[in-house]
Structure 1
Amino acid sequence: MSAHRAVPLTCSGHTRPVVHLSFSNLEEDGTYLLVSSCKDGNPMLREWTGDWIGTFIGHKGAVWCTKLSADSSRAATGSADFTAKIWDTFSGTALQSFPHNHIVRTVAFSPDASRLMTGGQEKKVRIFDLHRPDAEPDFFGAGGANAHEGTVKSVVWVNERTGVSAGEDGLVKWWDIRSKSPSSTLTFNGPVTSMELSNATQTLVVTSGQTVSFIPAALSSKPSHNVTLSYAPSSASLHPVLGDRFVAGSTADQWVRIHGMNGEEREVHKGHHGPVHCVEYSPDGEMYASGSVDCTIRLWQTTPGKSYGLWQGTNGM
């Protein structure tokens, strides 16, 4: 009998390109949530099966990034309407809105969800106190100076003391939350196109040019691992359990690829009808999601044919 063929589940509903995906933490019952960001301005929340839960309505421009709090009770969004918003994931209600002076490209909750970090085309990184929404935000850098010399593409919160930002200036910076000053900097040869924190492995996955870098989030003595691909990935995600493979997408074609940690191409899957903007592994590693210019999200099994989620009762053929 031939090997199972990877047949993705298609999640429709968006009307413009899907530009960012983010999974929640794994719940005790083995379930989790998925949030998608889209140029249609309407981020969506889905069950681990891909079933639609709801849409956050209120932005007046493209939404570039959506993240969930550790307990999944809140969502944060960054938008081209120059705002970052906090949402109640149960009711879909917008709870807070934080104005910026330019497009907000990235957001991140602190581990205890008491603060929000943002970055974008202002080249600044801000921290808002969610318990004091009317207070002025803190800025990374002396006197509110630019954190980067290009658009801030991604921010993540490593722990209560450390934040990391990545920019189109090719720099990844570690910041001391208390002093708001940089503690370490890594330089890439070109603009950083994506950066995500793999919570389970505490690894930053950074794409720049044709390189995917796996960097210890705490910048320990363990060295970074760099892989050069034959194409320029738009996004990459490390398997959270096995740590022996990563998934990558590219805006140059319609394929989703699985690579070993030496860069070898293990799997190539076509399901999208347009370039792939974003990819992300689920927190249990059983599947990965991809978002595309074709306005869809596709969910792929790590092990095709395995009984899992909406694939239960099918053989993946």
Structure 2
Amino acid sequence: MKPIALKGHERAITQIKYNREGDLLFSVAKDSVVNVWYSANGERLGSYDGHNGAVWCVDCNWDTTNVMTGSADNSCRLWDCETSKQLALLETSTVVRTCGFDFSGNVIMFSTDRQMGYESYLNFFDLRDPQQVKDNKPYLSIPCTGDLGLSKSKVTSAVWGPPLSSDEFVITGHENGEINQFSAKSGQLLKSAKETEHTKQINDLQSSVDLTMVISASKDNTAKLFDSTTLERIRTFKTDRPVNSAAISPTMDHVVMGGGQDASEVTTTSTRIGKFEARFFHAASEEEFGRVKGHFGPINCVAFHPEGKSYSSGGEDGYIRSHYFDPQYFALQLDA
């Protein structure tokens, strides 16, 4: 696989996200830049300018009309995808760590960090009510820490659950390894995975293409596959390094994981020393069957193309590497 290298950031990539069709790839980084690329050839289409701090999260709605970003400048911003015009500015007391559109694109959620005396909150806005955005008052704000908190630690990652559920919910990963379900209507804690599932911080949560499964990536050197509705663990993938991100293939029984030792702890003169490869596992056997080198630092985020024909990774080195699979990759699946 010969990668396409996308260079549009000066600092570490924090998240990458394909739109539903897969023709666009959004990227955010610690340099406050929000970029959008053509996934087919790596050409940069444009950027969304406005943040003045590290941008931690990005998402786009179902029909790719709006883009949402969350930043360390204590704001969550809504953009027009085509024109890059800022549509809304939601100011917060602390860093916005995660964000996402629900299936309809009408409701957004984002979480804030616990810092400077403020607790971690999970906030929900209904975009059909302009007054909520104008007043900067969510229709629901769930405390995740503190005396009234429904969790023991702050939210570090979050995704929406399946849209056909009777009570629409968000799945959250936490600093202490918890994985929870919160109702987007009542704010009630619906379900919680056992605290022993992960012993350290959840770095990333990603859903399968049909939203029925979610995969967690943790500092405890594992990634785990869960049923989105029941939070029952389906598979465990073990490595010898912290896992920063994991993604589920939409067409194969495969998962890809990225991570590596922290850049401050190892030399970056060799991609092998810090173990910075992307690693592929079979979802049924839990066995590793491939590795892809390239980054000169830890891989912070990975994502599969919605059609399963490629995957991309974003690293501490500021590069995004997009790999289109060779025919042998698909033949491997047939033989498995």
2:25 is equivalent to residue 25 of structure 1:
no
Which is worse superposed, 85-94 or 223-232?
Answer: 223-232
Instruction: Give the TM-score taking structure 2 as reference length.
Output: 0.82
| Residue 248 (structure 1) aligned to one of 253, 257, 260 | 257
Partner in structure 2 of residue 80 of structure 1: 72
Q: Mapping of 1:157-306 within 5 angstroms?
A: 157-159=160-162, 161-186=168-193, 187=195, 188-200=198-210, 202-208=212-218, 209-219=220-230, 223-242=233-252, 244-252=253-261, 253=274, 254-261=276-283, 262-303=285-326
Q: What is the CA–CA distance in structure 1 between the aligned matches of 2:29 and 2:282, rounded to whole Å?
A: 29
C-alpha contact 2:124 2:184 (8 A) present in aligned 1: no
Cα offset, 1:143, TM superposition: 12
DSSP-derived class of the 2:296 partner = coil
Q: Give the gaps of 5 or more residues in structure 2.
A: 115-119, 262-273, 330-336
Cα offset, 1:202, TM superposition: 2.3
Cα offset, 1:305, TM superposition: 7.7
Cα offset, 1:120, TM superposition: 2.9
Partner in structure 2 of residue 315 of structure 1: none
Q: What is the CA–CA distance in structure 2 between the aligned matches of 1:77 and 1:201, rounded to whole Å?
A: 21
Partner in structure 2 of residue 43 of structure 1: 34
Cα offset, 1:39, TM superposition: 0.4
Deviations 1:176-228 (A, max 9, x none): 222111110012222111111222352111012112111111227x7522222
AA paired with 1:140?
Answer: I
RMSD: 2.1
2:138 is equivalent to residue 146 of structure 1:
no
C-alpha contact 1:66 1:107 (8 A) present in aligned 2: yes
Q: What is the CA–CA distance in structure 1 between the aligned matches of 2:277 and 2:318, rounded to whole Å?
A: 15
Q: Indicate the structure whose relative CO is greater, using CA pairs within 8 Å and at least 6 residues apart.
A: 1
Cα offset, 1:33, TM superposition: 1.5
DSSP-derived class of the 1:134 partner = helix
Q: What is the CA–CA distance in structure 1 between the aligned matches of 2:210 and 2:229, rounded to whole Å?
A: 13
Deviations 1:14-51 (A, max 9, x none): 1111011111112xxxx521111100101111122122
Deviations 1:225-269 (A, max 9, x none): 222223221111111111x21111113232112122233221112
| Residue 93 (structure 1) aligned to one of 82, 85, 92 | 85
Q: What is the CA–CA distance in structure 2 between the aligned matches of 1:230 and 1:142, rounded to whole Å?
A: 31
Q: What is the CA–CA distance in structure 2 between the aligned matches of 1:147 and 1:102, rounded to whole Å?
A: 19
Large movers: runs of 4+ above 3 Å:
141-149
Residue 200 to residue 32, structure 1, CA distance change in 2 (3 Å):
farther
Residue 305 to residue 54, structure 1, CA distance change in 2 (3 Å):
farther
| Residue 130 (structure 1) aligned to one of 127, 132, 136 | 127
Residue 13 to residue 142, structure 1, CA distance change in 2 (3 Å):
closer
Q: Give the gaps of 5 or more residues in structure 1.
A: 1-5, 307-317
Instruction: Give the TM-score taking structure 1 as reference length.
Output: 0.87
Which is worse superposed, 263-272 or 57-66?
Answer: 263-272
Q: What is the CA–CA distance in structure 1 between the aligned matches of 2:95 and 2:75, rounded to whole Å?
A: 7
Deviations 1:260-296 (A, max 9, x none): 2233221112111222111111100110000011111
Q: What is the CA–CA distance in structure 1 between the aligned matches of 2:150 and 2:92, rounded to whole Å?
A: 15
Cα offset, 1:171, TM superposition: 1.0
Name the count of aligned residue pairs: 295
Partner in structure 2 of residue 52 of structure 1: 44
AA paired with 1:106?
Answer: T
DSSP-derived class of the 2:243 partner = coil
